Amino acid sequence: MTLPASCFGRFLLAPLLLVFAGAIGSAAQAQNYPAKPIRMVVGFPPGGASDTGARHFAPKLGQLLGQQIIVDNRPGANTNIAIETVARAQPDGYTLLWGFSNGLTVNPSLYKNATFHPQKDLLPVSLIDEYQFVLVVHKSVTAGKLGDLISLIKAGKPGEFTYGSTGLGSQNHLSAVLMGRKAGIEMTHVPYKGGGPATLSVVAGETKMLFASIPSVLGHIRGGSVRPFAVTAPTRSPELPDVPTMQELGFADFDVRAWDAILVPVGTPPAIIVQLNREIARVAAMPEIQEAFKKVGLELSVTSPDALAARIRRETAIWSAIVKEAAISLE
């Protein structure tokens, strides 16, 4: 059977009309955005620094957008539950991820069976904040500085020296792995379920060393129960101006910072991403937000979507190599 030529025109035109209609629909959706409350998914339980930052930020962002933003805590699996929740959501701008660096850059190498990937299933909107770690040791450790500590570890039995972390594959765990690799030393990892127990472990001397968030150990440093040896960013911390960086102490390219960022599902209209990025920058400029973040040790640092995408790619490659070398994996 031969079809009339006019039928071919209709068959070819139909897909084009669908694409055109979809483009018009996306444009209209973006133009009317937001028309209802927005959900912001956080991968931690209430109370931590990341969650606190989200709860300060969400109401202000909602005010500028003209809609309420509801914080939705989805803890578990090193923030993978939150990431997957957003990756599987409708790409309409009404589900945002308050993403944490570990989940976005380390988890892809740790979880071999994950059915999603942050770089494939999410689009960056903006970096929000970041913080660095400080290497602290229990007061009983006889070393006076980092070089002495490395010599002390080398002089002992392999694996005799212990260090804590907030969990297997966490950035403070991998910071110690990175240090060990660069220094040629072998230590024993003791993972804990969260920052609180990990901090208490080094304060009590159960472990000898910890890469800790600065706010979590600042009081213990001032009280003398732990001593700081180095910070992990390329620049010194305003809270600890006398503590050198790892790079200053000879650890080239040692740059470890945790951060929070906002991302959306792939397919979200570009106009919505531009609008969100613009309003995020306005929130970050508010003095009350700057003060609130400073109190929990978070440094505001908003970026363009492209800059955030580049950072995710760069850090994913770095952590992938370290995870592979250390043979770390999680189900």
Q: Determine the Cα–Cα distance for residues 306 and 327; give it in Å rounded to an integer.
A: 31
- Sequence-ordered strand ranges (E) for 183-326: 188-191, 209-213, 226-231, 257-265, 299-300
For the chain, domains (ranges, CATH) are 29-131+259-326 (3.40.190.150), 132-231 (3.40.190.10)
Question: Mean of the pLDDT values across residues 3-30?
Answer: 49
Q: What is the reported pLDDT for 158?
A: 86
Query: What is the rounded CA–CA span in Å between residue 171 and residue 110?
Result: 12
Q: Which pLDDT value is given to residue 261?
A: 98
Q: CA-to-CA distance for 235 and 221, rounded, in angstroms?
A: 19
In this model, does residue 7 exceed pLDDT 70?
A: no
Question: Is residue 28 predicted with pLDDT exceeding 90?
Answer: no
Residue 16 has pLDDT above 50, yes or no: no
Q: Which of 3-7, 174-178, 293-297 has the lowest mean pLDDT?
A: 3-7
> Across residues 291-307, what is the average pLDDT?
94
Summary mean pLDDT of the chain = 90
Over the range 162-186, which residues count as b (16 or more CB within 10 Å of their CB) and which as e?
A: bbbbbbebbbbbbbbbbbbeebebe
Cβ pair 102, 312 in contact under 8 A? no
Q: What percent of the chain has pLDDT over 70?
A: 91
177 pLDDT more than 90: yes
